[in-house]
């Protein structure tokens, strides 16, 4: 099994050594799995449980003071599932798996995604607030008004952050990609970024598996994960494809992101233009 994971593209972390240790443990948990899909699910499950990453229990808070999680999963055979806008769901990746295997759909949102999760024993009542996020939110002063325009002005002032977690894996002819997030800080309530959008935050084909992280709106407009996969399909190795993808992304959007990939030969690659993007690998 070749497995590669990232802890998000963003600013320099406060405690990079501890985060790296957690990334390495998460990768080890995935490396023992039976197949690539199980590997990325196990890896991301560990990262979602850590308050040090913007996914699951460490997620960003939306403008109404609610944390909502998103995830997207894809395999080389086209099996795809995604779920978004889920308050109380720590393991959004597990819901994406349910959508992929138990429904005829690709993406499910909000209360209906939560109802599906409950039907398949995925916990939906988690406390996703880390102490850091709770303190940060308490220091804000949201406008106490029903004026939508004023609220939107406040959102634009506060909106930011780019972290996400993700993993890609290959074994034999099987590949899988999974990306999970708590979104961006103080996004408008109900905002959905790149993570659950096929070809943006995640993508897999017979050629490669890709996970992206960063400024979600720009990643979605550009289609970063699919761009990298297409470049690998055209003959580039993953390292080259990721570097080219980031160059093209920055030229097109002027924004920040990161991307990791693995191809069917087990070669891996990653690139970013943010201050930091920590990764962990099974080899």
Distance set, CA 258 to CA 8, 99, 244, 247, 274 (Å): 7, 26, 12, 11, 7
Count the Cβ atoms, other than its own, within 10 Å of residue 117.
Answer: 24
Phi, psi (rounded to 5 degrees) for 23: -60, -45
Catalytic pick among 164, 181, 213, 256: 164
Tokens 């024993």 belong to which residue? 121
Active site residue 79: no
Nearest C-alpha neighbor of 154 from the set 64, 77, 68: 64
Half-sphere exposure for 58 (CA within 13 Å, toward CB): 20
Exposure string of 86-105, with b = 16+ CB inside 10 Å and e = fewer, is: bbbbbbbbbbbbbbbeeeee
Which residue in 85, 69, 39, 271 sits closest to 164, CA to CA? 69
| 233, burial (CB in 10 Å: exposed 0-12, middle 13-18, buried 19+) | middle
Residues catalogued as catalytic: 164
């Amino acid at each position: 099994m070749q497995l590669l994971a990232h802890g998000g593209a963003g600013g320099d972390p406060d405690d990079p050594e501890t985060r790296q240790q957690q990334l390495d443990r998460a990768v080890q948990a995935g490396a023992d799995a039976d197949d690539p899909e199980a590997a990325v699910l196990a890896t991301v499950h560990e990262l979602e449980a850590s308050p040090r990453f913007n996914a699951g229990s460490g997620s960003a808070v939306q403008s109404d003071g609610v944390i909502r999680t998103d995830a997207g999963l894809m395999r080389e055979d086209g099996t795809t599932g995604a779920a978004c806008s889920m308050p109380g769901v720590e393991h959004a990746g597990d819901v994406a798996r349910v959508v992929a295997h138990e429904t005829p759909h690709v993406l499910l949102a909000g209360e209906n995604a939560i109802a599906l999760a409950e039907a398949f024993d995925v916990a939906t009542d988690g406390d996703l607030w880390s102490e850091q996020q709770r303190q940060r939110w308490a220091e804000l002063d949201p406008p106490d008004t029903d004026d939508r325009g004023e609220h939107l002005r406040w959102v634009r002032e506060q909106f930011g952050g780019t972290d996400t977690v993700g993993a890609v894996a290959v074994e034999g002819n099987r590949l899988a990609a999974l990306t999970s997030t708590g979104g961006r800080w103080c996004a408008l309530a109900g905002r959905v970024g790149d993570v659950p959008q096929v070809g943006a935050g995640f993508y897999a084909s017979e050629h490669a598996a890709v996970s992206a992280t960063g400024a979600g709106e720009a990643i979605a407009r550009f289609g970063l994960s699919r761009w990298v996969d297409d470049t690998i399909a055209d003959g580039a190795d993953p390292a080259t494809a990721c570097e080219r993808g980031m160059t093209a992304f920055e030229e097109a959007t002027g924004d920040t992101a990161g991307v990791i990939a693995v191809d069917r030969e087990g070669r891996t690659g990653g690139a970013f233009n943010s201050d930091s993007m920590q990764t962990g690998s099974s080899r």
